[in-house]
Structure 1
Amino acid sequence: MPTIFCAVLLGLALAAAPGPSAAIDPAGLAGRTHGQNQGETRSETAGRYIVTLKDAPTVSSAEAAVNTAVVRAASMGATVLHVYRHALHGYAASMTASTAAAVADGPGVRSVEPDRPVRIAAQSVPTGVDRAEADLSPTAAIDGKDTRVDADVAVIDTGIDADHPDLDVYVAGGKNCWLPNMPQEDGHGHGTHVAGIIGALDNGTGVVGVAPGVRLWPVQVFSPFGSGSTSSVICGIDHVTEHADEIDVVNMSLSGAGRDDGDCGRTDADAMHRAICNSVARGVTYAVAAGNDHADAAGFVPAAYDEVITVSALADLDGEPGGLGASTCRTDRDDTFADFSNYGRDVDLIAPGVCIRSTYPNGGYATLSGTSMATPHVAGGAALYRATHPGASPAEVKAALVKSGGMDWTWPSEDRDGIKEPLLQLRSF
């Protein structure tokens, strides 16, 4: 089970473009060196636990088991916070350590694990859309005439600014797991920025996304300060899985310390992995950030999971190959592996993730850097593929994206694993 989620380098850069850069560091990460495990601690969310039940033979028996377990927990003095019925069967609750131990010994319980703190990871044609060749995609059809890609993408993040004129936010399909029964409004900025990279409208103003006009499902799992918990993230995955017949792709621009605990049949100690496995089995494709610690992604989750598409970041400053772009919001060398990005055999694709301009709350736009920004390029690419291949499985989507990837970027540079990841290329999608 991961010990904590680290922000995906939101604090690397934020600038209003054009104009002077302006620092933002809501997660307390700006100025950290790349060798640090940024924001990592070993703390737990005191008195809160995630309870996973054993598999049941039928849907009805699973439902009954969950209801019985929740009633039993309440009778033992626990306060139930979330109930999981789709990605896995179980619940999250606040209880004493002794009660948690008693619950663990109860009938039908697979595991009881501490809840953990989590944090977020960080019209023109943006450089990333240009470099990924989404502007040449016949499905994206970017021409300023507001043609919309027929796909649904959930953004598990800080929420999305539902009133932003450059976004098609499906508010009715959203969920607030951080503060239930409240709107999924983005008081932070990270989720809105991610959403714009995926699907900002091709409407002649602002910016355009990789898959313009996709229906964006806001799934809020973080507070306006970028804090949250593993149980909230699982709540988001559970909501997505409940709507697996509607949602095609999920973007998770977040990362935390941990390792792949094995295939989906052996994930008893990692509730988040089990939830993602079950969601993928329902046909949902997950794009996730490699992380920003300039380290092997094998030590971070969900990046290390085999069932997802893991994305590292390219420093592309002009939207073109060749390494001729001048530095803008950062001093990275153009067309090279971003010096903050994680790497390794668990990484499937590299995508632009430096100085990316996208939507921001209150109808604005901002420039950010991080694998948080690289990942939604891939989520948008997955949406383009699903729009024309509606029956494609997550494995087929992943294979198509990797196969179409190109190698036209400078390497080796800061990528120290000896592996050159394919660069996201979407002209044939």
Structure 2
Amino acid sequence: MPKLFGAALLALALAAATPTSATAAAPVPADAPTTAAFATATQSDQIPGRYIVTLKDAAVQSDTTATVNAAVAQATSMGATVRHVYRHALHGYSAAMSKSAAAALADDPRVQSVQPERRVRALAQTVPTGVDRVEADLSPTAAIDGKDTRVDVDVAVIDTGVDMNHPDLNVYKAGAKNCWFPWLPVLDMHGHGSHVAGTIGALDNNTGVVGVAPGARIWPVQVLNPLGLGTTADVVCGIDYVTQHADQIDVVNMSLGGSGSDDGKCGTVNNDAMHRAICASVAAGVTYVVAAANSHADAKNTTPAAYDEVITVSALADFDGKSGGLGKASCRADRDDTFADFSNYGADVDLIAPGVCIRSTYRNGGYAVLSGTSMASPHVAGGAALYKATHPGASPAAVKAALVAAGGTDWLWPSEDGDNTKEPLLRLRGF
């Protein structure tokens, strides 16, 4: 059996979150101290009885350490419990104290301000450029609005595993399977599978990112090791497991591949064990979405991409979530809105989807930006999930036909594509 090259990644970087807009402070609560030095905050985000005291710069110019220490001692003598002392970015301290003590400190001529402590939280979720580009944010089934409405579909991720406890994923833990090391629980020590899972179904929960089919139940099927490598035997184990649960699993994503070619239609030759397994699984009603691979070569020489029964996906370079080619390259050099310079191509490719600088969930509860056809494929898997949510009885062939028929051609041509075919770009606003 040939070794798989799965999880071949072309870029990895942490993405900066998009800051939320500031909200105006609410009127000072009626029971708050009235001194002008007392900063206001909304009642909802205040932490009762806790304050930050900032000293005036002029008050600490002569002896910073002694002045700050004296201020802390003063607060302690007034019954305050000091939690932090600030000596570098500013001069002052934070403390738990009564309202009357806070008011008294605010009137001290050495004090610049006394403000209530407020709660902070992770910034609101971003809509990744890929989700925007394929118009999943306009899908009535995805219903992306930050309210954590979940798409009622089951998607298996045959990969390096998935972070079982990621707060932005709906992982179906009872459905986890480790084919790489059967005696261990599923554990994504690489990050690739967790990233794929987030593009498919990250929760629409105002945290982190959102996936194409938010909240889809993710079945982690681990077939690749912590280096992103595996064998066809392990992959067949994963396909076998999915087929065992074909009455529950609707869609499979396989962002992996190895050398090989299509050995014929299902039911004819099929001396390839992986192809036979996929044939049986598709016959059982499971839709398979696979990556075209990253060799900038014809996908006919890569499996499972070469199989006719799967949906094979190439990668689009898109940096701004919009057509037109105006986006500025970010995590790697490429031309916006064109065929990614690494992506495989050819007659076996069915759809193209964003696969460059895609932000998604990652191992250890984190987020990361990755590039590859591995990142394009889960956009389509999420699209297949949306279609299955509203067409639960649809066959894999019907799902494929619907996605291809809805695809658009609004990406720049000619580009780095190695053939003369402009693949339809995944478009989900009508799903």
Residues 33-182 of structure 1: matches in 2 within 5 Å?
A: 123-182=125-184
Could you tell me which residue of structure 2 aligns to residue 3 of structure 1? 2
Could you tell me which residue of structure 2 aligns to residue 409 of structure 1? 411
**Secondary structure of 1:266's match?**
coil
Contact 1:348 / 1:421 at 8 angstroms: preserved in 2?
yes
Q: Give me the whole-angstrom Cα distance separating, in 1, the residues matched to 2:216 and 2:355.
A: 21
Gapped regions of structure 2 (runs ≥ 5): 18-124
Contact 1:221 / 1:233 at 8 angstroms: preserved in 2?
yes
Alpha-carbon distance, 1:350 to partner: 0.0
Alpha-carbon distance, 1:4 to partner: 2.9
Residues 293-312 of structure 1: matches in 2 within 5 Å?
A: 293-312=295-314
Q: Give me the whole-angstrom Cα distance separating, in 1, the residues matched to 2:182 and 2:323.
A: 45
Q: Choose the corresponding residue for 1:263, options 262, 265, 276.
A: 265
Contact 2:5 / 2:230 at 8 angstroms: preserved in 1?
no
Contact 1:406 / 1:422 at 8 angstroms: preserved in 2?
yes
Could you tell me which residue of structure 1 aligns to residue 235 of structure 2? 233
Q: Give me the whole-angstrom Cα distance separating, in 2, the residues matched to 1:411 and 1:230.
A: 36
**Secondary structure of 1:264's match?**
coil
Could you tell me which residue of structure 1 aligns to residue 329 of structure 2? 327
**Secondary structure of 1:333's match?**
coil
Report which stretch shifted further, 217-226 or 375-384.
217-226
Contact 2:4 / 2:229 at 8 angstroms: preserved in 1?
no
Q: Give me the whole-angstrom Cα distance separating, in 1, the residues matched to 2:3 and 2:293.
A: 13
Provide the TM-score with structure 2 as the length reference. 0.74
Q: Aligned pair in 2 of structure 1 residues 223, 9: CA closer, same or farther (>3 Å)?
A: closer
Alpha-carbon distance, 1:356 to partner: 0.1
Residues 357-372 of structure 1: matches in 2 within 5 Å?
A: 357-372=359-374
Gapped regions of structure 1 (runs ≥ 5): 20-122
Residues 340-419 of structure 1: matches in 2 within 5 Å?
A: 340-419=342-421
Contact 1:173 / 1:218 at 8 angstroms: preserved in 2?
yes
Q: Choose the corresponding residue for 1:184, options 183, 186, 190.
A: 186
Runs of 4+, deviation exceeding 2 Å: none
Identity of matched residues, %: 75
Give the letter for the 2:291 counterpart. Answer: A
Provide the TM-score with structure 1 as the length reference. 0.75
**Secondary structure of 1:402's match?**
helix
Contact 1:8 / 1:292 at 8 angstroms: preserved in 2?
no
**Secondary structure of 1:263's match?**
coil
Q: Give me the whole-angstrom Cα distance separating, in 2, the residues matched to 1:411 and 1:400.
A: 24
Could you tell me which residue of structure 1 aligns to residue 12 of structure 2? 14
Contact 1:8 / 1:291 at 8 angstroms: preserved in 2?
no
Alpha-carbon distance, 1:18 to partner: 2.3
Give the CA RMSD over aligned residues: 1.0
Q: Give me the whole-angstrom Cα distance separating, in 2, the residues matched to 1:321 and 1:243.
A: 39
Residues 186-225 of structure 1: matches in 2 within 5 Å?
A: 186-225=188-227
Contact 1:355 / 1:367 at 8 angstroms: preserved in 2?
yes
Alpha-carbon distance, 1:275 to partner: 0.2
Could you tell me which residue of structure 1 aligns to residue 77 of structure 2? none
Contact 1:9 / 1:371 at 8 angstroms: preserved in 2?
no
Could you tell me which residue of structure 2 aligns to residue 47 of structure 1? none
Q: How many residues align?
A: 324
Contact 2:177 / 2:222 at 8 angstroms: preserved in 1?
yes
Alpha-carbon distance, 1:8 to partner: 4.4
